[in-house]
């Protein structure tokens, strides 16, 4: 059982260099400090099969893959992750923190990549069933800020998405904001262009509210 006694699924979403991975880890660490049982997962990946799919997904630069192909691949990884890791963790009362979940597919392959959104939504229902996040933190960062962060990053990782160009990233951001506007109870849009500690504090506070943990 988690200290709060409340199992929950919390997802982190955002574009490249939005800081979501760092923030997901910070939240996991702060909850664990309070004795909460936390399971952190990343997508695509998180299971043996999922990591194999991640390899294809991220590094097959020489293999042409349509947005539809990518959506099927990453959603297959997700279906496995839900059954192998997320549901068992929720069943034992853990808080599951997902570094990306199905909104990534809607935003990247749908809004930015042009795959049919209704089809993608149906695919997500098939893959995850009722395993839907209780709360989704969208780390929103303007595309100029991403460009600045990237050029400051010595170890740039140019996978197919990061090299996709400005318009792709504009559509991605717009798509995420639309998803958030359509489900304001699930989403919290967090301004990611602030100091790491300020962002972390907002996320920690909203999570304490969700889990019914009193602040110290
Ligand atoms: P990340 O390490 O930034 O989370 O990178 C994962 C990459 O995979 C990122 O470029 C976004 C992409 N992605 C999709 O395009 N669709 C998805 O459904 C997921 C989970 C990730």
- Please check whether residue 193 is in contact with residue 143, taking contact to mean a CB–CB distance below 8 angstroms: no
- Predicted local distance difference test score (pLDDT) of residue 111: 98
174, part of any domain: yes
Most informative mutation of 11, 21, 23, 44 for ligand 1 (most atoms within 8 A of CB): 44
- Predicted local distance difference test score (pLDDT) of residue 75: 98
- Predicted local distance difference test score (pLDDT) of residue 158: 46
Regarding the beta carbon of 105 and ligand 1, being less than 6 Å apart is answered yes
CA 44 to centroid of ligand 1, rounded, Å: 7
- Predicted local distance difference test score (pLDDT) of residue 2: 45
**Each residue of 80-117: pLDDT tens digit?**
999 999 999 999 999 999 999 999 999 999 999 999 99
87, part of any domain: yes
183, part of any domain: yes
Residues in the chain with pLDDT values less than 50: 1-3, 155, 158
Regarding the beta carbon of 17 and ligand 1, being less than 6 Å apart is answered no
The number of the ligand 1 atom at minimal distance from the alpha carbon of 21 is 4
CA 58 to centroid of ligand 1, rounded, Å: 8
- How far apart (Å, rounded) are the C-alpha atoms in residues 169 and 121? 21
Query: Domain containing 181: what range?
Result: 8-211
- Please check whether residue 137 is in contact with residue 85, taking contact to mean a CB–CB distance below 8 angstroms: no
Domain CATH number, residue 47: 3.40.50.300
3, part of any domain: no
- Predicted local distance difference test score (pLDDT) of residue 216: 67
How many domains does the chain fold into?
1
139, part of any domain: yes
The secondary structure element, H or E, covering residue 182 is helix 166-182
- Please check whether residue 91 is in contact with residue 33, taking contact to mean a CB–CB distance below 8 angstroms: no
- Predicted local distance difference test score (pLDDT) of residue 47: 97
2, part of any domain: no
185, part of any domain: yes
- Predicted local distance difference test score (pLDDT) of residue 179: 98
CA 212 to centroid of ligand 1, rounded, Å: 31
189, part of any domain: yes
């Amino acid at each position: 059982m988690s200290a709060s006694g409340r199992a929950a699924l919390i997802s982190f979403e955002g574009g490249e260099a939005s800081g979501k991975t760092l923030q997901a880890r910070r939240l996991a660490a702060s909850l664990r400090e309070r004795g909460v049982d936390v399971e952190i997962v990343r997508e695509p990946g998180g299971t043996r099969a999922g990591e194999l799919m991640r390899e294809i997904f991220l590094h097959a630069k020489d293999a042409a893959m349509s947005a539809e192909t990518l959506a099927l691949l990453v959603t297959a990884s997700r279906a496995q992750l839900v059954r192998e890791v997320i549901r068992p963790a929720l069943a034992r009362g853990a808080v599951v923190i997902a570094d990306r979940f199905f909104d990534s597919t809607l935003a990247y392959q749908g809004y930015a990549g042009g795959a049919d959104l209704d089809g993608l939504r149906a695919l997500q229902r098939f893959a995850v069933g009722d395993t839907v996040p209780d709360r989704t933190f969208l780390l929103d960062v303007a595309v100029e800020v991403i460009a600045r962060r990237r050029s400051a990053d010595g170890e740039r990782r140019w996978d197919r998405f990061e090299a996709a160009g400005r318009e792709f990233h504009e559509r991605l951001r717009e798509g995420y904001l639309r998803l958030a506007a359509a489900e304001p109870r699930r989403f919290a849009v967090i301004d990611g262009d602030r100091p790491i500690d300020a962002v972390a504090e907002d996320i920690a506070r909203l999570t304490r509210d969700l889990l019914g943990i009193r602040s110290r």
